[in-house]
Structure formats: C-alpha cells, structure tokens
Structure 1
Amino acid sequence: MPLTVVQVLPALEGGGVEQGTIEVARELVRRGHRAIVIAARGRMASTLEEAGADYLDWDIGRKSAVSIRHVLRLRRLLRSRQVDIVHARSRLPAWIAYAAWRSLWPSSRPRFVTTVHGLYSVNRYSSIMARGESIIAISATVRDCLLKNYPGIDPVRVRVIYRGVDPGMYSYAYEPPADWRVIWEREMPMLSGRMVLTLPARISRRKGHQDFIELIAGLKDRGVPAHGLIAGGAQRAYLLDELRAQVARRRLEGHITFLGQRSDLREIMAVSNLVFCLSKAPEAFGRTTLEALSLGVPVIAYDHGGVREILARMFPEGAVPAGDLGALLQKTVDFVCSPRQVPPSTPFTLRTMLDQTLALYENPAGSI
C-alpha cells in the first residue's frame, strides 16, 4: 500500500542533509509512494521538485518565536493528508514535528522518525533527535554517541544507515570531460608538474585547514613538488583572512590556492593525486572521503569518527593519528614517493542507503 512520507528540514541549500532528503524523496516517488518535503526554499528546491515530490516552502528551521505557528499548520497537514511517516532531519524542525505529532490522538499518529546527521552537543535541545520511534544514525560513531549520551534510548530503535554514493556519479577512475580539463588547465597553470593535494572542506576552524597549510609547508621544506588546493566556501570572511595570513607567514603564496565554493568538486578530486580529511573533531560520516575513494583517489585522513569507519573498510592505509602533524607529513611523503591504489569497490552505495531507509519506513519500530 502506498505510503505518504513527510520529511522536515530547515532549508534546501547545499549539503549532505539536503542531498539525502532529495534522494529519499526521489526513491519514494519511483516506488509509487507520496513524498512531501517541508523546508525553506534554497538552491536545491528545483531539484526536489524535478524529483516529483510535493514541496512546501515553510521556514520551519527559523529560530524565532513565530516558528511555533508551524505546529498547528503541520498538525493539520498530518491529518488532512493522512501521513504515514514524519521524518525529522534537524533539531528545530524535529521539535516542531514532535509537538504536532504529540498533539494527535495516539491511534491517529503517523510514525515519528529522526535521522541524526551530526555529533550534536549534548543538551535538551539536541535530545529531540533521540525521541524518534525509529532513529537513523548515519554511522556507528553517531549511534555510539547517542547511546552513550542518552542512556534511556532502547538500542533496538537505533538503526545505522550509512550515507552512500551513486557509482554512476562517482565512478572508479572517472575522467572529467575534455572541455572541463581545458578550462581547468588554463585557470590552474601552477599545477603543471606538481602533485595536486586537495582539502575539500568549508572554511572553519574545525576542518583542519591550519594543519593542511603546515603540511604543504613541510613538503616544501623537503623539496616535494606539491600544490595544495583548498575547496570550500567561507561563511565568515575573517576565517579565510586568518588562513591567508598563515599562508603568507609560511611564504606559501605560490603553493596553496583557495578555490572557494565549487560545483565541480567531483572533477577537482578526480584530477588530484591525494585528497585529505583533517577535521580536528570526529566527523559524523565524511562524505567527501567516500566520494574521493569511490573515484579511486587515495585519501589521507585523521583516524577518528565516521571517517575512520570509511577508511577501515575501503582504504585503511590512509589513516593517520588525529592531530599528529609529523605522522601526517611522513604519510604524505610516503604516498608521493610510492603512490597507492584504492581498491575498485565501495560498500557505501546510494542504493543500499535507499533500500534500508525504505525498509525502515515500511517496517518501523514500535512506539516510544
């Protein structure tokens, strides 16, 4: 029997949460179910609508007292559209969805599902993500964090469903189109004859950009012909200024390029010799690590969090103790001198993620 599934999240801007929401909505429609997504409009809204989902442009993630109006609005929608599943993917939308859900008679409530996409701070605000009748953790790291910090959770309610990549999009040994290469080589002549090392991460003090800059400095001191690419936007200009100042102090202006936010990250990683993930704190998953390895590009990453889980199953030799700059430099030099091959397979596929998510919708856990 067809299901009606409502997914709620703050906005349809770029990001892993939004991408996963759209992927699930598209799969629901493909299987003959009804997909409804509630979020503020963003640049991915047209992609969602093209997938065939019903899109409701509500600012449900806005941190304001007026957001409470969405509770009654959502309650009416849950009743009028006879919703079977309400799936919350972020904390504020989850509180609104939970309030609307709880206001219904128990016999008429849809199932309440949450996905924990991050390693949130442990407090009452975050605790809403532990109230799902079924809770999706995007890695074992997230699951373990939930069970440790919210001991009242029945472990049976928590399902680990890893994020996945589409092998058609991130195919092994992918070659960017010739016209893209012509433009890239024209814009990036400094890369000729050098090893290309890429850190794909938004500008943040948590993402390890400082360590990456020190790595490039260490390679320069050793005479290794390498160029570092930092691909990621900066929401706060002063953070980018801090990194540019570090580059200047280390006299690396000709050795590091800031690319900003890019829509061609797949192509950039495909032409890189090495990709890095150097987050100072554990990541909940590590999508760019998975994408690079799926392309066949070796990854060197700090060995913690969800990234550790990916490396353990796909490329264990890329792991480096978190924060150990000496080990990071030595591992990179070793890989430059003796290039490694990534095995041509991935256990983390989009198809697996979709099948497991739809199976959870069709066979949810019992009530809280």
Structure 2
Amino acid sequence: MKVMQLLPELNSGGVERGTLEIARALVAAGHESLVISNGGRLVAQLEAEGSTHLTLPIHKKALSSLWQIRPLRRLIEQHQPDIVHVRSRVPAWLTHFALKGIPAHKRPHLISTVHGFYSINRYSQIMTQAEKVIAVSDSVVKYITDNYKNCLPQDIVRIYRGIDPQAFPHGYQPSAQWINQSFKDFPELENKFLICLPGRITRLKGHETLINLIEKLLAKYPQAHAVVVGGADPKKATYLKELEETIQNKGLREHITFVGHRSDIREWLAFSDVVLSLSNQAETFGRTALEALSVGTPVIGWNRGGVAEILSHLYPQGLIKVDDQESLYKTVQTHIDSPQEVAPVTMFSLEDMCNQTLDLYQQVAQQAK
C-alpha cells in the first residue's frame, strides 16, 4: 500500500506524534509512507524512519490556502497513493477540492481522524466526510454521532491513541543522577509529597484549581508540594504572571514549583507521588494521564472525556466528579495518607493503535472505488 497523510505542520503535539507513529508502522510493515505538511522540526526524524516528506503550505486558516489545491492535486496524481489520510481541517478542505478534479476511478480512498472536539459548524464538518472516520476515543465517537448526523455510525471507527509501554515501563524510576540534579535545581522538592500537574500553561489546564487545592492541603499536610510541568507560550505570559501573583498573594511561593517546558516528562511523572488531570474542558484522549499510569503513578482527574475513559479502565479510584473541589481534596488526602498501587497497564498500546489503523487502511484499500 501507499499511504499519504496530511497535517498542517510537523513541530510538536499529539496529531504530529500520531502521524509519525503510523508512518513508522507503515514502513516497518513494508508499505510506502508519504506525509504532506508545511514542514517543521520533526521532518528529519520522519525521513530518517523511512517516510517521504512533501512540503506544501497547507497550514494556514486563510483564503490564500486555496492556492494550494492545484499543487496538492498534482502531488496526489504524481504519487498515486491508495489512501489519503487527513488529520486536520485545512488539509481536509484542500484535499476535498483537490480530489474533485481527479476522475472518480483514479481517486485514492479517503480516511480522516477526528483528534479534537472541534467547533460545531460547516468548517469542521469536513472531518466527518470521508469513507472512514477514525475517532480517538469513545467520547469522540459520541461527539461525532451527536453533532454530525451526516456521518453514518458504521463509518466511524474508534481507534484509541496508544503509548509504547517500553518507553513508559511499569515501576520506572528516574536515575540517581536525574534526582540529584532535580534537587539541585529545585531544592524545595526534597522530602515532599509531589503533586504534578502536567501540560502547557493555559487557562484550560486547571492551574487555579491546583493553587486552591495546595492552599487547603497545607493546613494539614505541610509536605504537600505542587509541580507544574509545562512551558508558557509567549502569548500566555500574562496568564503566567497572573498565576504567579495569585501564588504570591496566598503565600504559596515555597509550595508550588514551575519547572517549565521539559523533554523529560517520563521522569517527572515517575518522580511524582500523584498526577492530576484538571482541564476545564473534556480532553479527547488524555495521553499524559496514560503515561503516568503506565509508569505506575496514580492519576486523579475529572470524570469526563478521554481521561475518564482511561481512568475507568485502569484506575477508577482516581475518577472524581467534575469540578467537585471537595472530592478532589479528599481523594488527594487518601493518597497522602496511604500510598496507592497502580496495576500494570495492558490496554492503550501503541502497537494496538498502529495495527488497527493499518488494518483499516487494508480494508478500505480493498474496496472498489
């Protein structure tokens, strides 16, 4: 098979990671893998792993992107993929128009992946207009069936995102060198019960909830300490300043540590005593929660979206009613009073995700056009 995946750019994020993982699986299985994007820092890795990258500026939500329809059509005609897999709305629209100019019998099969809870409108509906629509969780399946009646239930295929259990092995512990360096960089973390909130600094991630939780916990547990793992985009500098002022005003500067953007997320998840998932909106999957559980760290999160699906399967005692601050406090308190065990994770593997996606490609490629 020859599969062409389309996405805006190849810098960082869940869509990008998924694209690389499927590309790698295609090459390993002896298929041909092509990726079209505006480029980015992951292109070198993609190419080193055996895929071909074709650069086309299909990343801008602007009318000028329509100029890319003809070049995209030429690339499709030149490479003649069996499957075109769109992973984002602008590339999906450009593909839609590009395919219209190709005779029906010469068109590749079209697959899309709905990675997000997109706004409900005509613009987003394009993601549900493919022969098969991959949804990354049951929450996304429900979202599509509730909001996009044009998409037949039998055309939606739920394929959970997956992680490599070897990259996040159960019981993993950071090296002594890493721990020593972390205590050197952040001496306030030593001998503390570490409560980790991973994710970039945005209003969505629940930082205010974390601040209130720590303030309440300290009255009884002086060893409670929050670690925020994630950087702030320059556009979010005002929000970060706002958070820092709140922390200062509450006298919590010694009890909440911001470690910034990190490439050693596995170490921080394993090093923490508890990981929180407090997003103000439902997440479509919840990869970080899964990574934490995979290394054996308990996760406590709101009962909604993909995170709730992961927790209900793997760690139901970490599920709490949405926005119930008292329940959050009591659940964290339970974890401080008596450390909890997390069973080894046997679901949501990267291998399953890749096998199910490649099986779907095979199934669709064998159908008559």
TM-score, normalisation: structure 2: 0.96
**Partner of residue 241, structure 2:** 241
**Partner of residue 266, structure 2:** 266
Runs (4+) of structure 1 exceeding 6 A deviation are: 365-368
- 1:301–1:320: 8 Å Cα contact kept in structure 2? yes
How many Å separate the matches in 2 of 1:347 and 1:10?
30
How many Å separate the matches in 1 of 2:285 and 2:260?
22
Q: Pick one of 29, 32, 36 that aligns with 2:30.
A: 32
- Which amino acid is 1:254 matched to? E
- Which amino acid is 1:265 matched to? I
How many Å separate the matches in 2 of 1:63 and 1:138?
23
How many Å separate the matches in 2 of 1:177 and 1:59?
42
Q: Pick one of 207, 210, 216 that aligns with 2:208.
A: 210
Give the direction of change, closer, same or farther, for the CA distance of 1:93–1:329 in structure 2 (3 Å limit): same
Q: Pick one of 47, 66, 71 that aligns with 2:45.
A: 47
Q: Pick one of 121, 124, 145 that aligns with 1:123.
A: 121
- 1:208–1:278: 8 Å Cα contact kept in structure 2? yes
1:251-262 equivalence runs, <5 A:
251-262=251-262
Instruction: Compute the displacement of 1:123 (Å).
Output: 0.7
- Which amino acid is 2:258 matched to? F
Consecutive unaligned residues in structure 2, runs of 5 or more: none
Instruction: Compute the displacement of 1:345 (Å).
Output: 2.3
Consecutive unaligned residues in structure 1, runs of 5 or more: none
List per-residue Cα deviations over 1:240-285 (Å, max 9, x = no partner).
1121122112211000011111111111111000001001111101
* Mapped pair 1:286 → 2:286: yes
How many Å separate the matches in 2 of 1:147 and 1:159?
12
- 1:207–1:280: 8 Å Cα contact kept in structure 2? yes
**Partner of residue 60, structure 2:** 62
How many Å separate the matches in 1 of 2:279 and 2:368?
37
- Provide the secondary structure at the position in 2 that maps to 1:363: helix
Instruction: Compute the displacement of 1:224 (Å).
Output: 3.8
**Partner of residue 357, structure 1:** 357
Q: Alignment length, in residue pairs? A: 366
Instruction: Compute the displacement of 1:367 (Å).
Output: 8.7
How many Å separate the matches in 1 of 2:197 and 2:283?
15
- Which amino acid is 1:309 matched to? E
**Partner of residue 153, structure 2:** 155
How many Å separate the matches in 2 of 1:19 and 1:50?
15
Identity of aligned residues (%): 42
- Provide the secondary structure at the position in 2 that maps to 1:74: helix
Instruction: Compute the displacement of 1:62 (Å).
Output: 1.5
List per-residue Cα deviations over 1:12-70 (Å, max 9, x = no partner).
11111110100000111111111111112222222211111101222211123221122
- Provide the secondary structure at the position in 2 that maps to 1:279: coil
- 1:269–1:275: 8 Å Cα contact kept in structure 2? yes
Q: CA RMSD in A?
A: 1.4
* Mapped pair 1:98 → 2:96: yes
